Each structure stands twice: as C-alpha cells, then as structure tokens.
Amino acid sequence: SQGLCRALEQDHAKLQMAKETVEQRTQELRKEGELLHKNLEQQMSLNRHEERSCQMLPALPEKKMVFKGLVTNKEDTNKLMLTPLIRYPLLGGSALITFEKAEVAQRIIELKEHMVELSYGEELEELDRCRVRVQAAPVDILLPSALEMRLTQNSRSILVSDLPSLGISEEALLDKLELFFSKTKNGGGEVESREFLDNSGQVVLTFVQDGVAELLIAKGHIQVSVGKGKHKLKISPCMSGDITNLQLQPSRCPRTVLLSGIPDVLGEEPMRDALEIHFQKASRGGGEVDALAYVPAGRQGVAVFMEDAG
C-alpha cells in the first residue's frame, strides 16, 4: 500500500508540474496575443491616419492627355476657319458663266451643246444669222476635306501686333520698329530681318541672338516710341505651320458652267456680250447671269473661285 501511495504522489507531482507548465504557456500566449492585438491596433490607427492624409491631398495623377475634338457652343472660342480660294485654269476659246440660280446652270449643262447667235454686235451687222456652236460642261474643283498642320515656334522671332496708324509707309514703320527693338535698353538686340505679314497688319522681327525674343515674349506688351507719341504694342510668339496631311475631295460648282469650243471670230468684249445675251434668255434654257469670264483662243486665263455666300 505504501508503494501505491508513492506512485500516486509521483503522479500528483507530475500532474502539478504539467499544470504549471500549461498555465505558464497560457500566460505567454496571452501576452503574445495582447502584444499582437496592440500592434494590430497601432497599425490600424496608422492606416487610418495615412488614409486621412491621402484624402487631404488633391487627387491629381500625372497623365499625358491629347485633346482630339472641336469645342462647340462657345461664342468666344477662337476657331480656324478655312475660306476656299480656288484658282481654276481657263484655256483659250472657253468661258466660265455663273448664273444666279443653280437650276439654270444644271439645265444648260444637260443641253450640252448650244448655238450662240453673234449678230448682236456692231461688227457683224451685215450678217443676218451668224452662229457658233459651243459646248457646256460642269465645273469640278478640288476642295480640302481634311487638313492637319504641325505648328513650330521660331525661337529668335517675335510677332508684333496692335500697330499704330501713323500715315507713313510700311517701310518707314519697319525702320522705326527695327530702330527701337535693336536697342538693348529696350530689351531688344540686333535685328536680322523684318517683314509685314500679308493683310494682317502684323510684323515679324527676327533677332540675330538667341534669348532676345524669349524675354520680349515674356513681357507680352511693350511701350514703343513711334512718331510723336508712345504706343502699346503686343508681343506674341512667331508660329509657323507645315501641312502634314491634306485630303481633297472633288466638288461641283452648282451655279457655274464651262463653255468651250468658242471660235475667235469676234473681239473679246463683243463675244462676252453675245454669250451673256444668249444665256440670259429663258427661251434657250438660260437665266440671269451673275458673272462671265471669257478667254479668246490663243490666250490663257485663271479664274478665282471664292466661297459662295448664298
């Protein structure tokens, strides 16, 4: 019985040790859990702080963007408007006749051949019935349907605008501008070239040295002593454009007819009158003539087509 009692005591001791070991391990795990929980709370708090910080920053990611489109419904938007100005070669013995109404031109074209009476002029009064045979055909011209340009800035040039009206010649005004802008005290430098842009009232000045144009452009405006007073001129970058893509499509002139095969039997003025008189008559399919251009045989001409206001 004593041996059994000892065995029980030993088992109790082992169980006690096991219990203490389990309790110690439980304490360690609890501490690890508390530490982990604390770290997790700190991390969540840090994340919330970072989130608040991020929300305070403006969301402006750097991104390259290309605008492809047309701004509409803006009355003050600057637009590039292309106005067709087509030069049409006119061979000798032909005429271009433009009617006031498109349906008249169409009717003349459909008839194809016309017998024009020439006995209206004084030169042929003795001839009762002198006629010439002319052919009528439509006029097709090429108009731009798509245009792409590459703009480049000239680093040594400026565009001068808002020029005063001083009643002097363009050359004299260019001299005065060159004199002003060539002086370093005015922010300028030696001028390499100067020119008036056609029909714009603007001048392009090109300097010899780099950097002069850039400083003047940065000012935007400059007071210039020209003539008796001072004038505020506008300084802008000088841009040049190269056509990178041009697409053309044929377009038929609705009111214009090409007359060909006209013999050189009358003077230029009488022939023009005879053609206009003939094609004005409704009995011959004609109508009111808006314009008429005639080139006698042996000569050549160029007709200029502008945008139809109607």
User: Mapped to the 3 state alphabet, what secondary structure does the chain carry?
Assistant: CHHHHHHHHHHHHHHHHHHHHHHHHHHHHHHHHHHHHHHHHHHHHHHHHHHHHHHHCCCCCCCCCCCCCCCCCCCCCCCCCCCCEEEEEECCCEEEEEECCHHHHHHHHHHCEEEEECCCCHHHCCCCCCEEEEEEEEEEEEEEEEEEEEEEEEEEEEEEECCCCCCCCHHHHHHHHHHHHCCHHHCCCCEEEEEECCCCCCEEEEECCCCHHHHHHHHCEEEEEECCEEEEEEEEEEEEEEEEEEEEEEEEEEEEEEEECCCCCCCHHHHHHHHHHHHHCHHHCCCCEEEEEEECCCCCEEEEEECCCC
Q: Quick check: 264 pLDDT over 70?
A: yes
- Average pLDDT of 230-246? 86
Q: How confident is the model at residue 63 (pLDDT cuts 50, 70, 90)?
A: low
- pTM for this entry: 0.47
The arithmetic mean of pLDDT across residues 207-221, rounded, is 90
At 149 the pLDDT is 82
Please tell me the distance from the alpha carbon of residue 156 to that of residue 207, in angstroms, as a whole number. Answer: 6
Q: What is the pLDDT of residue 52?
A: 45
Mean of pLDDT values over 48-54: 46
The mean pLDDT value for 165-188 works out to 85
A 10 A CB-CB count for 121 gives 17
Q: Quick check: 55 pLDDT over 70? A: no
On the question of pLDDT at 128 being above 60, the answer is: no
Question: With 70 as the cut, is the pLDDT of residue 204 above it?
Answer: yes
* Mean pLDDT of all residues in 191-209: 86
pLDDT band at 270; cut points 50, 70, 90: confident
User: What pLDDT is stored for residue 62 in this prediction?
Assistant: 55
